[in-house]
Amino acid sequence: MTTTDEPVRACGGGTPLPERLSREQLRTLFLFEKLSDDRLDWLTEHGAVEHFAAGPVYREGDPATCFYVLLSGAVAMSRQVHGEQLETNRTDQRGVYAGATQAYLGDRVNQVYPNSLRAVVDSDFLVLPADTFASMMREWFPMAMHLLEGAFFGMRSQQTIVSERERLLALGSLSAGLTHELNNPAAAAVRATSVLRQRVAGMRHKLALIADGRLDGTKLRQLVDLQEEAVKRVASAPQLTPMQTSDAEDTLADWLDEHDIAGAWDIAPTLVAGGVDPEWLGKVAETVGGENLESAVRWLTYTLDTELLMGEIDDSVTRISGLVAAAKQYSQLDRAPYQTVDLHDLLKATLIMMQAKIPKGVSVVKEFDRSLPKISGYAAELNQVWTNLIDNALSAMGEQGTLTVRTGREDGDCLFVEVGDTGPGIDPAIRPRIFEPFFTTKPVGEGTGLGLDISYRIVVNKHHGDIRVSSQPGDTRFRVVLPIDPEAD
């Protein structure tokens, strides 16, 4: 090494050494072995030698200000994964480099350190300021720089496009399921309305037969009271098993036949559904007499039928309203992106939206801790996380299994949402890669490999939380951990 009387600025935070590297020393580093003498002289002038005691050199996420080349010692590189530091590389090879490796891209990318670097033992580095390294790359290797730029931005653009495509595909699938779910109650309401119109017309006709003067006012009033009672019986009708329903219909049909009422087998199902039994029909017979019994029974049957049809319409409309509310909750279109949310409302909306995708052989178990507080977050994006995790769980199980969605408190200051399935589990060989962009175990064309990557970035980067996975055959669980107060240190 050579010495200089000029002061040396410590770019990297280490202790500046007065020595500078000579051309021959620089050529021993594989990065610089092919450089010309004038470029080696330039490096000698612009690079500084810094000494670091064992410990941190730089930390992931800090502004990327320097480019480091190891001269002596040993280093370890690590990344923050699921809240823990994961060591990715450890070496004592001279010439290995790290730091502001993307400085040549300028302000087109966020210039922060993508990892953490630690000196395992006391180590020396050749340190270049980030802007100096960027200038060197642009001036010395213009073609290589363009190739690197194209690769970097091309991959990022591709990931953005595929991510958007995945969101659109998921939305299209959920929209198709929602359309199907809406169609069923809508069709039921239309059918019930059509039948109701016929029943009301029939009820008016039978009332005309009853009220043609053959019943005095007192009897007619008693019949109207029976009608009101019949309506109340519909609301309180017991839920019968298929066998109990069949037995009750047989009993009522026998009673109707004994009283010479035609079409007993057509009338009996409606009467049973309305909670009518032979004892109550006996009260009707006592009120109107035998000659008016059939007209009265049919009139009351129309009353029960219309009440049942109105109940069906009410159920259908309520179902439609609930689906629309779930769609609004899921999409969050009319709400601020960042808001205070109840995780259970989001999970409920997601499960409703995904109902059509859940096979009949898959049972859904919800274990919700209703005491959990609300948290601040990006509701629509959290719904996307639940969608991705639930969709993966359903894909893993196929047509049979149990989907478990669980919530609870973790470590006092955090909440968790856990999605579990009873599928075959994740192969330990691929488990470290499941959060990688574009990695998928699904057949070509069926998965983009971005679902978990998107979920990870939403939870970790936007909500300062974590995603953890545990898996064994028959029990795979993805746990999303979210801070109650994301602004707290």
Instruction: Compute the mean pLDDT over every residue in the chain, rounded to the nearest whole number.
Output: 78
How many domains is the chain partitioned into structurally? 3
Q: At what angle do helices 293-331 and 264-273 cross, to 10 degrees?
A: 50
Q: What is the pLDDT of residues 402-413, one digit of tens each?
A: 999 999 998 778
Residues 184 and 209 placed together within one structural domain of the fold: yes
Residues 177 and 319 placed together within one structural domain of the fold: yes
What is the sign, positive or negative, of the torsion defined by CA atoms of 272, 275, 279, 283? Answer: negative
Whether 237 shows a pLDDT value over 80: the answer reads no
Whether 448 shows a pLDDT value over 60: the answer reads no
Q: What is the pLDDT of residues 367-382, one digit of tens each?
A: 999 899 999 888 888 8
CATH number at 30 reads 2.60.120.10
Residue 489 lies in a domain: no
Residue 166 lies in a domain: no
CA distance 449 to 159: 10
CATH number at 399 reads 3.30.565.10
Residues 129 and 217 placed together within one structural domain of the fold: no
Whether 479 shows a pLDDT value over 80: the answer reads yes
Q: What is the pLDDT of residues 382-441, one digit of tens each?
A: 888 888 898 889 988 988 999 999 999 987 788 999 999 999 988 887 776 676 654 455
Residues 394 and 314 placed together within one structural domain of the fold: no
Residue 158 lies in a domain: no
Residues 343 and 312 placed together within one structural domain of the fold: no
Residues 179 and 317 placed together within one structural domain of the fold: yes
Residues 279 and 370 placed together within one structural domain of the fold: no
Least confident stretch, 27-36, 52-61, 67-76, 84-93: 84-93
CA distance 133 to 12: 13
- What is the pTM for the complete model shown? 0.46
Is residue 210 within 8 Å of 223, Cβ to Cβ? Answer: yes
Phi and psi at residue 325, in whole multiples of 5°?
-65, -40
pLDDT (mean) for 354-366? 87
Between 482 and 105, the more confident residue is 482
Residues 122 and 83 placed together within one structural domain of the fold: yes
Residue 233 lies in a domain: yes
Residues 95 and 136 placed together within one structural domain of the fold: yes
| Distance between first and last Cα of the chain | 46
CA distance 276 to 274: 6
Tokens of 378: 């990006």
Residue 345 lies in a domain: yes
CA distance 102 to 131: 10
Residues 135 and 72 placed together within one structural domain of the fold: yes
Is residue 178 within 8 Å of 329, Cβ to Cβ? Answer: no
Tokens of 352: 């409703």
Tokens of 76: 């370890």
CA distance 425 to 118: 36
Residues 136 and 206 placed together within one structural domain of the fold: no
Looking at mean pLDDT, say which of 126-140, 150-164, 233-247 comes out highest.
126-140
Per-residue pLDDT band for 1 (boundaries 50, 70, 90) equals very low
Query: At which of 93, 123, 140 does a domain end?
Result: 140
Query: At which of 122, 140, 158 does a domain end?
Result: 140
- In angstroms, the Cα distances linking 193 to 52, 206, 315, 394, 416 are 82, 20, 13, 37, 45
Is residue 432 within 8 Å of 452, Cβ to Cβ? Answer: no
Q: Which residues of 212-233 are buried (b: 16+ CB within 10 A; e: fewer)?
A: eeebeeebbebbeebbeebbeb
- Confidence (pLDDT) at 180: 59
Q: How do beta strands 75-81 and 123-129 pair?
A: unpaired
Residue 147 lies in a domain: no
* Full 3-state SS string of the chain: CEECCCCCCCCCCCEECCEECCHHHHHCCCCCCCCCHHHHHHHHHHCEEEEECCEEEECCCCECCEEEEEEECCEEEEEEECCEEEEEEEECCCCCEEECCCHHHHHHCCCECCCEEEECCCEEEEEEEHHHHHHHHHHHCHHHHHHHHHHHHHHHHHHHHHHHHHHHHHHHHHHHHHHHHHHHHHHHHHHHHHHHHHHHHHHHHHHHHHCCCCCCHHHHHHHHHHHHHHHHHHHCCCCCCHHHHHHHHHHHHHHHHHCCCCCHHHHHHHHHHCCCCHHHHHHHHHHHCHHHHHHHHHHHHHHHHHHHHHHHHHHHHHHHHHHHHHHHHHHCCCCCCEEEECHHHHHHHHHHHCHHHCCCCEEEEEECCCCCCCEEEEHHHHHHHHHHHHHHHHHHHCCCEEEEEEEEEECCCEEEEEEEECCCCCCCCCHHHCCCCCCCCCCCCCCCCCHHHHHHHHHHHHCCCEEEEEEECCEEEEEEEEECCCCCC
Residues 114 and 56 placed together within one structural domain of the fold: yes
Whether 201 shows a pLDDT value over 80: the answer reads no
Max intra-chain CA distance, the chain: 127
Query: What residues make up the domain containing 269?
Result: 173-323
Residue 334 lies in a domain: no
Residue 16 lies in a domain: yes
- Confidence (pLDDT) at 444: 38
Token look-up 């898996």 returns 471
Query: At which of 140, 165, 189 does a domain end?
Result: 140
Q: Would you tell me how many other CB atoms lie within 10 Å of the CB of residue 18? A: 14
Q: Would you tell me how many other CB atoms lie within 10 Å of the CB of residue 34? A: 8
Tokens of 149: 């730029």
Per-residue pLDDT band for 270 (boundaries 50, 70, 90) equals confident
Is residue 267 within 8 Å of 256, Cβ to Cβ? Answer: yes
Token look-up 């899921």 returns 330
CA distance 91 to 75: 6
